[in-house]
A and B are shown apart, each in its own frame.
Chain A
Amino acid sequence: MNDRNLVRGLFLIAISLAFGLVSLRYPMGQFSRAGPGLFPLLVSCLLFLIGLITVVRSRFVERVDLNFNMKNIALILASLCGFALISEHLNMIAGIVFMVFCVSFAGTSYSVMRNLKISACLIAIALAFQKLLGFNLPLY
């Protein structure tokens, strides 16, 4: 299950099924007067075919190991979602500070002082965007 080529094929098949099965629920129409479901179904079938070829092909080409490092991507996604949630319920300045402090765990070193400086700079940039360029940011 650690073969990159095989996983890639399965991933493509999964995507094609996700779109293809849903599109079956939409009206198909005829070729001369296509309904909303026809085109996505065709494209999904094509993608399914490519996924299938990839799976078959993975048995004939050399294995490439899949290396998947969850920590960094998880930290980044968490800080993005945290930024959005805090900006929505509190304000964006708090969101920026949270994001900087959270995402820095993914870096090679961690320093509170440096994070404070980065946050201050980014808040200043956000203020400049709001005041000078007319961005509508809910900063405070």
Chain B
Amino acid sequence: MEVLHNLALGFEVALTWQNLMFCAIGCTVGTLVGLLPGLGPLATISILLPLTYSIPTGGALIMLAGIYYGAQYGDSVSAITMKIPHASSIVACIDGYQMTLKGKTGLALFTAGVSSFIGGSVAIVVLSGLAPTLGEVALLFGPADYCALMLVGFVCVSFVTTGSLLNGMAMCLIGVLLGQIGTDVNSGMQRFTMNLAFLADGVGLVSIALGCFGIAEITKNLDNRDERTPFNGKINLIPTWAEFKRIIPSALRGSVIGSFLGILPGGGPVIAQFAAYAVDKKVSKYKHEIGSGAIEGVAGQAAADEAAARTSFIPLMSIGIPENAVMALMMAAFIIKGIQPGPNMIAGHPDLFWGLVASMWVGNCFLLILNVPLVRYWLSVFKIPYSVLFPSILFFCCIGTYSVNNSLDDIFITATFGFIGYMFLRLGLDAAPLMLGFILGPMLEENFRRALLLSRGDFTAFVTRPISGTLLAFIGIFIVWQVAAFFLQARKTTARRQQPA
């Protein structure tokens, strides 16, 4: 009953005219920018973050959330119609694009829209039930446990986003080191500032995000020099009843898988999509069709995608630890607005928390309206040639960086990180874990120092506490497995090389 009461409070907040408007703007702009080639949710959020500075806190959070799932959805539209895989909707390309080739674009888009709606709704139920409970569990966490939890997050994100533990961990650590720049909170000493006054407060988050995701991304697209043909096919949106019936079971399966995987550290939309797709391929009634343009191939992954995008808010809002790079950016946005996500957020700002939850459902409805009947108009975005687009994106990067502090110095920092981001790109290092490391770095240091202070410099405290001990054991097993896998692989390739000789 308490949940219903809380949700009623949430809807009271979310359904004010102002917040409805912010939600609608967030969804629209997010979808629009998410559709643009090469801009996934991370870049979209960092470019649009400054838009929210002049908005009241509740509205800003609602709008940011709208931008996030709008971008997530816009991604899948471009994947289905043109097979432009962004970071976040690789799976949608498989069956979605096959359906487009068969002339069933409308059906694919409708399926994706409805499944996302179902996935989102299931996730919101999970979110409103689980987040407060998990928040109480989080109160049991001591500093050592927080450290271990963050390390687990690093390991999982490294492995999931880059596929290589070594590269991912390196990026996390670089992020942590970048987070050290600025004034040390405990001693007041300035670290790594090179005596530059504007570095005393640390490197701006927006500068790093725009440099590594915005500018590096633009340069990559320019280097590729690929011209895209805009989508001109016919779109017939209304499905038959038989087709509609096929969407539901697959979407429900996807929702459950997505909701679950969204909560785990390092989880999130990408891994949820793959899992849902794999499950559908195993258990669906139409499994023989999946891969060649089946409704189930689109429905399951779209539902999982949307569900995971929402349940990944749970660790952020109940424990205060973001579990992937997008959530790290969200956390930064919360902090800019003066809200510290964590166990106390739900109790301290019930209107914000429940308003956000309720607004997710409102956003779901907006997305359905925006995307299913209006999708034709969205696709005209692709008629803009890239040579017009990239100066504009660059302009928004500049305005975004500048308006954080009204400081032109920040643009130089962004340019620096643009170069570094490009280096990372060319060296095959994914910048997403860096973001997580950067946000969690200061928290990790503080908890690390506090844990050692409490244990009087004794490192066994990390192992003897049940929570941190378990988490560290998990990391240990994971690393051993990775090392073993590498050596087995190496032996196999050398064996194969020797065979022909």
How far apart sit A27 and B426, CA to CA, in the bound complex (Å)? 36
Chain B residues with CB under 8 Å of A35's CB are: 187
Chain B residues with CB under 8 Å of A7's CB are: 427
> Residues of A at under 8 Å CB distance from B?
4, 7-8, 11-12, 15-16, 19, 22-23, 26-27, 30-37, 39-40, 43-44, 46-47, 50-51, 53-54, 57, 60-61, 64, 66-69, 72-73, 76-77, 79-81, 83-84, 87-88, 96, 99-100, 103-104, 106-109, 114-115, 118, 121-122, 125-126, 129, 133-137
How far apart sit A133 and B429, CA to CA, in the bound complex (Å)? 37
Residue contact A19 to B452, C-beta cutoff 8 Å: no
Q: Which residue of chain A has its CB nearest to the CB of B406?
A: A136
Residue contact A47 to B418, C-beta cutoff 8 Å: no
Chain B residues with CB under 8 Å of A16's CB are: 173, 177
Residue contact B54 to A83, C-beta cutoff 8 Å: no
- Stretch in B234-242, B320-328, B389-397 touching the partner: B389-397
Residue contact A100 to B391, C-beta cutoff 8 Å: yes
- Please classify the interface of chain B as helix (H, G, I), strand (E, B), loop, or mixed, using the class held by over half of its residues: helix
B398 touches A (CB below 8 Å): yes
Chain A residues with CB under 8 Å of B402's CB are: 87, 137
How far apart sit A30 and B422, CA to CA, in the bound complex (Å)? 39
Chain A residues with CB under 8 Å of B429's CB are: 8
6 closest Cβ pairs, A-B complex: A32-B457, A31-B457, A107-B387, A84-B411, A36-B184, A80-B415
Chain B residues with CB under 8 Å of A67's CB are: 426
Task: Give the number of residue pairs across the A-B interface with Cβ within 8 Å.
Answer: 177
Residue contact A11 to B427, C-beta cutoff 8 Å: yes
Chain B residues with CB under 8 Å of A109's CB are: 387
Residue contact A87 to B408, C-beta cutoff 8 Å: yes
The size of the chain B interface, using a CB distance under 8 A, is: 65
Shortest distance from the beta carbon of B189 to any chain A beta carbon, whole Å: 5
Chain A residues with CB under 8 Å of B374's CB are: none
- Stretch in B215-223, B351-359, B362-370 touching the partner: B215-223
Chain B residues with CB under 8 Å of A135's CB are: 50, 54, 399, 403
Residue contact B223 to A69, C-beta cutoff 8 Å: yes
Q: Which residue of chain A has its CB nearest to the CB of B403?
A: A135
Choose among A54, A64, A77 the residue with the greatest number of B CB atoms under 10 Å from its CB: A77
Residue contact B418 to A76, C-beta cutoff 8 Å: yes
